[in-house]
A and B are shown apart, each in its own frame.
Chain A
Amino acid sequence: AQTVTQSQPEMSVQEAETVTLSCTYDTSENNYYLFWYKQPPSRQMILVIRQEAYKQQNATENRFSVNFQKAAKSFSLKISDSQLGDTAMYFCAFQGSVRGGADGLTFGKGTHLIIQP
């Protein structure tokens, strides 16, 4: 079974700073998908960024980028120029390809990110 570990339960940074959230995972699969989801207090889960394991290039979405290290099984999220609206729980998630989606997404326990004004 796959596992996802987020070792930072909570982080706090000042507005406009850069912050990096860490995520490691364990799998025996070679092809898989990795995600970062944001969950603000409204409870709505929002996809931040998606990475396909067979792509070596790190995914980027505006102020959000990842550092994907396949050999190390590491998938960190970097948020540049952080904004107050970035305050939320951030979940790292893994989806394998062997069972055709039947295992859904495996989530880490989350990192509560607080952006201070």
Chain B
Amino acid sequence: GAGVSQSPSNKVTEKGKDVELRCDPISGHTALYWYRQRLGQGLEFLIYFQGNSAPDKSGLPSDRFSAERTGESVSTLTIQRTQQEDSAVYLCASSLWVYNEQFFGPGTRLTVL
């Protein structure tokens, strides 16, 4: 079946603009995760959804970041008033249940000029 998909694959934006990143998880997966990977670094956890609910949003780097999930499917990560330090690859992952294997999408490379 189809894997996790993310769009766009690349996004170049100007400092101060808002961006929206989309994740389509594997159908039937209840858990969904967002991570950020800065150049040459490991992955940094941002937020987790169980169904449509995010029990803890404290991993989001600042209040410019928000995320939602609808219909236990698609999730969007929104970054408002982008800054250059937001430049990174944003990865989404989903799993059947919280402690199962996380399947990752190909990521969105965000570049803020």
Binding site for B on A (CB under 8 A): 4, 33, 35, 37, 42-47, 50, 91, 93, 95, 97, 99-110
Contact = CB atoms under 8 A, between A and B. Distances in A.
B99 A97 contact: yes
A100 B98 contact: yes
B26 interface: no
A44 B31 contact: no
A115 B46 CA distance: 32
Interface string B85-107: 00001010100001101111011
Interface of B: 31, 33, 35, 41-48, 50, 55-56, 59, 89, 91, 93, 98-99, 101-104, 106-107
Contacts of B31: 101
Given A45-B91, A101-B48, A104-B35, A50 B42 contact: no
Contacts of A93: 43
